Structure 1
């Protein structure tokens, strides 16, 4: 299921014209606001924290709570199913679109 969410997040970012990448290990994943996959702390630290902040607020307004920092992991658990993750991905797309537009 985490792979399903990873793919959905990447697709949502592409549709929203948002420079984002996902780092995932097992059921843990992180959405970084950067076009290049971070491979070090310096790479992760170069991510757009202002964009992530706007995204986080927009996602909360849609009823989806994720960690308030892109330096923390999201967790997929047995409580999640594909339908729930698809609803999350839809909210992520809308929130990313809003966050990108607000930063223009």
Structure 2
């Protein structure tokens, strides 16, 4: 069903669907800025482009983009790639990510 693609020893790992590679499940042992783990992850080709597109959307259901600790909407970059955090109306995290890494 899933392949383990990332496990950096930071308390979380990413599982990628074998049938739909753009679908990922991120499992972790802590709390993150958008909500609790697990998080649904969807891969995108360009996080900056997606963020610009999403900034123009009016989220009416209560979900939306999640700002960083300074209240800014920005792409988060880390050694394995980039991501944008969103939340659904029930505060479940959704990550749009641009992956730099190869599967383990």
Same fold per superposition (TM over 0.5): no
TM-score (norm 2): 0.29
Structure with more contact order per residue of length (Cα contacts < 8 Å, sep ≥ 6): 1
Larger strand fraction of residues: 2
Which is helix-richer, 1 or 2? 1
Higher CA-based Rg: 2
